Structure 1
């Protein structure tokens, strides 16, 4: 699905240039990555020693605390900014006369349709629709 929006020409040109350079960067990166790939990889960096475990634990705790602080700040900001707004309003109540007028029915037909469990449409009614 292609979303087309109205953009000015300079903005469209900047968008095309950024997209082009982004794809170019990705292609060059993948080419360099695949051309410098060695078959004999050294996995010693995956060894977990005590110094690595401590630093990984500290970084993880720091990320969790930072994320929790950001989420709680965002929550309090939203409550302060938008908490008092009452945007949800229900549409006004419709009466049977309006419903019958909308569907081009008589009020007694509408009551019959609303109260019957099963409704069959006769041939004359089907041809008029």
Structure 2
């Protein structure tokens, strides 16, 4: 169906699709507060790991390490295990890609169907030309019977 239907240029119709909401300032303030807390937490965790990996030993990360009974070697060991797992998963995914390309080939053979024209639909011989015109020009169509299943030949 390559012919577009008529659009209503009524302002009220266009305004009915716009979502309107009234946000309260205190709710937005709570959202900003929680977002800020999460950002500070993430930055603190990153700083904690950087301090342990490079053995900077600043005061605040050292306080966390003492309270959690950890050393820089523990954190570095954890980080090494995480890196090994990340590299292992990455290599497994690369092998999986190679396997799928060998088994199924490249995906260049796939192509999307072309634009359906009026002639294509008429060649199917499922609807009449007058029903096609009704479908193209009307915004809302109500059928008493199914025009494909209950057509009269």
Verify same fold: TM over 0.5. Answer: no
Structure number with higher relative contact order (C-alpha < 8 Å, ≥ 6 residues apart) = 2
TM-score normalized by the length of structure 1: 0.42
TM-score normalized by the length of structure 2: 0.36
Higher helix share goes to which structure?
A: 1
